Structure 1
Amino acid sequence: MFIHKLPLSSYRLNALFTTLIGWLTFSGHSLASEVEHHHFYSSTLGYDYPYSVYLPDNYDAQATAAYPVVYMLHGSFGTDRDWVARGNLQQVADRLIRAGHIPRAVFIMPGSRSWWVDGHNEPARSAFFNDLMPHIEATYRVGQERRLRGIAGLSAGGYGALNFALERPELFAAVAALSPASYVPLPPRNSSAWRHPAFRNDQGQFDQTLWETLNYTAHLEEYRLKVTPRGIEDEGDLSPVPLYISAGRSDVYDAEFHARLLRQAMERIQPNDVRLDLYPGGHTWQVWRASLPAALNFLFQYVGQTDSVAVEDEQARAAPPAEESTESIEEVSG
């Protein structure tokens, strides 16, 4: 085990958040958190599972109360170090925690050779649920209940985070998908999905059936039945998983178009629990860095909240929405 501390770099927040936390942007302020890189043997994979972990300032492994935890998934052909090395996760989390906008939390950034699916190259989905999550909960003082867990991802990681939340809504309080590669009905021809080993069969061809079976559209109906009340006797205790989506307006994979399709599909199930932010830019780290503060602020409206806050949220969802709040797209410049 070793600890790797990243130096503070200059970070230009999106204009929406400049007025909110801009006064905290001090070039000489050192990072108080720690980022560590680890691995453990995964019996599902048959080899070591890498992950990076962000621990907040003064993290206490013996703390009475568990820390909220958010799992952050990387993109296609990425690594567990991307969110810190390229996404400024450590700096952004430190600033939001210092400002009191999000609680002191643990961020887990796993690595995968797949698109977070049980694909042709590795059972990444099964390894995440069966090996990674139990390992993290046994190793760190993090919550083991839904209200203390969130999940997020970018591009292929957004595809995976969305699928995980829809498939297992009992596990996550909220989900954020940044430029999610959740393409319908198929990925655009320039997408890496066509050449990724997760979706290439033994003949080296793209497995269209596998894509359609694993994409979010295949999970929608079962998810709807889990989170939609259907009468007093049949009403379940699962509330919807609030969803944050972002996309760049000039994304070469038409992420804005597919994000709008996703928003429409999810709003049919949970009209008050979907937010879409659109940014200038493409399928790049510039867009993902710009949208990360908004994504984390959204997630922690739900992750780590007390039961009383959750009840208030449920009551707010049940109330008729204000007329001026019906527009779910927020234009963001920067």
Structure 2
Amino acid sequence: MGLTSNKVLVLAILCAVLLFVGTVWLWPRLARRTWRAVTGRVGLLLGTQVVLFACVGLAANQAFGFYASWADLFGQENTPGLVMDGSTRGGAGGPLRVIDTQQVRLGDGDRPDVSGQIQEVGIVGRTTHIGTPAYVYLPPEYFQPRYQTRTFPAAVVLTGYPGTAQALISKLRYPYTAQELARTGRMQPMILVMLRPTVAPPRDTECVDIPGGPQAESFFAKDLPDAVLAHYRVGRKPGSWGIVGDSTGGYCALKLAMHHPEVYAAGAGLSAYYKAPTDPTTGDLFHKDSNLRNRADLLWSIKHRPAPNTSLLVTSSKVGEGNYRSTLRFINAVKATNRTRIASIILDSGGHNFNTWRREIPAALQWMSGLLGDR
């Protein structure tokens, strides 16, 4: 049974209930001062507490999608998982392969031209050799005959760290939101490429080209768009691509839009931070190279490097978000440039969680839709 399986959560809850009942039932018999009785009481209390914590942890993981599997949880998820022949462009041997499909089931039927389609794919970077799973949402219009020669704008959608790509569908509901907004005329039909920024698990690369390590930034700036362009009808002209993410994914989205405006015409960071952290999950990202460290510091970059020709959106909350003050500083720094455009969503209150991001995603997608298209 997988980590995110409902059966695992139900089993943990059942164990907690049985231990609680067992504790109440056996406590009178363990009321003595012998070492066996004391050991029994300690064992029952400890076992009950451990199982209760497990229930809370499993429920939290179900709600917020921190880890996708047991291997992911225990730091054993360390292989790309897919090896494909990269010698040909497109097709089954290309950098992108469709593994499975599912319907969005928002429309009136199960046909892709009515309800759209989500494709589970595997992607291998031609230049970085990074392999990662992803999900691609194709809107209903993609399958309709009258749009068969049309190209569509695309948005890369990133989770936080560690996060799961599936949570972008089941928890944050990006495909459902995009389809409803398009159906009601509030945004244009768009292709969504959904994945997590953790392309070299379990390491948190922060979308950085690590010296002697994974070239995560190059993967998102070059290999990922190339793989999608080789397989889907996505616009090729500048202005066809955007990128959005939450938390770590938000930092990556802003950084990629700033560093690669020729690729990403818009970048939205939901509850983003503006400087790559250094901790046990990241390791040494910059190998003491101050130029690389400064480049990854978005506030330093916007003040000291030429302003990129791109559009940025940042979000925060006056109460409940730790990035509120840094977000205001970033907004002011961007406003001081004459080239980079900045917009914001500032809630009165909201935490660093899925519920807050669900409140921001519709407006963020509408904002991005208004900026993307073949230009």
Q: Select the residue among 125, 128, 131 that pairs with 1:42.
A: 125
- What amino acid sits opposite 1:110 in the alignment? L
TM-score, structure 1 normalization: 0.69
Q: Select the residue among 95, 99, 124 that pairs with 2:180.
A: 95
Deviations 1:24-76 (A, max 9, x none): xx9x9988121111113334454522211110014149832210111112212
Is 1:246 aligned to residue 246 of structure 2? no
- Aligned equivalent of 1:289: 358
Q: Select the residue among 254, 266, 269 that pairs with 1:177.
A: 269
Decide whether the 8 Å contact of 1:200 with 1:207 is kept in 2.
no
Decide whether the 8 Å contact of 2:268 with 2:313 is kept in 1.
yes
- Aligned equivalent of 2:260: 168
Quote the Cα distance in structure 1 between the aligned partners of 2:290 and 2:167: 28
SS of corresponding position for 2:210: coil
SS of corresponding position for 2:305: helix
Is 1:217 aligned to residue 308 of structure 2? no
Structure 1 window deviating more from structure 2 (49-58 vs 36-45): it is 36-45
Decide whether the 8 Å contact of 1:72 with 1:153 is kept in 2.
yes
SS of corresponding position for 1:146: coil
Q: Select the residue among 255, 259, 269 that pairs with 2:327.
A: 259
Q: How do 1:77-156 residues align onto structure 2 when only pairs under 5 Å count?
A: 77-113=162-198, 114-119=205-210, 122-156=214-248
Q: How do 1:309-328 residues align onto structure 2 when only pairs under 5 Å count?
A: none
Decide whether the 8 Å contact of 2:160 with 2:245 is kept in 1.
yes
Decide whether the 8 Å contact of 2:103 with 2:115 is kept in 1.
no
SS of corresponding position for 1:263: helix
Superposition CA RMSD, Å? 3.0
- Aligned equivalent of 1:51: 134
Decide whether the 8 Å contact of 1:3 with 1:37 is kept in 2.
yes
- Aligned equivalent of 2:369: 300
1:194 Cα deviation from its structure 2 partner: 2.3
Deviations 1:261-284 (A, max 9, x none): 110111111489322211221111
Larger radius of gyration: 2
- Aligned equivalent of 1:233: none
1:155 Cα deviation from its structure 2 partner: 1.0
Matched positions, count:
263
Q: Which has the higher helix share?
A: 2
Larger RCO of the pair (alpha carbons < 8 Å, separation 6+) = 1
- Aligned equivalent of 2:64: none
Is 1:72 aligned to residue 157 of structure 2? yes
SS of corresponding position for 2:192: strand
TM-score, structure 2 normalization: 0.62
SS of corresponding position for 1:245: strand
Is 1:2 aligned to residue 100 of structure 2? yes
Quote the Cα distance in structure 1 between the aligned partners of 2:170 and 2:121: 15
SS of corresponding position for 2:161: coil
Quote the Cα distance in structure 1 between the aligned partners of 2:283 and 2:148: 40
SS of corresponding position for 2:355: helix
What percent of counterpart residues are identical? Answer: 24
Shift in alpha-carbon separation, 1:201–1:269, aligned structure 2, 3 A: closer
1:250 Cα deviation from its structure 2 partner: 3.3
- Aligned equivalent of 1:14: none
Decide whether the 8 Å contact of 1:167 with 1:223 is kept in 2.
no
- Aligned equivalent of 2:282: 197
Quote the Cα distance in structure 2 between the aligned partners of 1:271 and 1:209: 23
- What amino acid sits opposite 1:215 in the alignment? D
SS of corresponding position for 2:345: strand
- What amino acid sits opposite 2:100 in the alignment? F
Decide whether the 8 Å contact of 2:135 with 2:194 is kept in 1.
yes
Decide whether the 8 Å contact of 1:243 with 1:274 is kept in 2.
yes
Decide whether the 8 Å contact of 1:40 with 1:48 is kept in 2.
yes
- What amino acid sits opposite 1:258 in the alignment? S
Decide whether the 8 Å contact of 1:43 with 1:131 is kept in 2.
yes
Shift in alpha-carbon separation, 1:199–1:157, aligned structure 2, 3 A: farther
Structure 1 stretches of 5 or more lacking a match?
9-25, 188-192, 228-239, 308-334
Decide whether the 8 Å contact of 1:115 with 1:198 is kept in 2.
no
Quote the Cα distance in structure 1 between the aligned partners of 2:124 and 2:261: 27
- Aligned equivalent of 2:337: 269
Structure 2 stretches of 5 or more lacking a match?
1-98, 199-204
Shift in alpha-carbon separation, 1:201–1:67, aligned structure 2, 3 A: closer
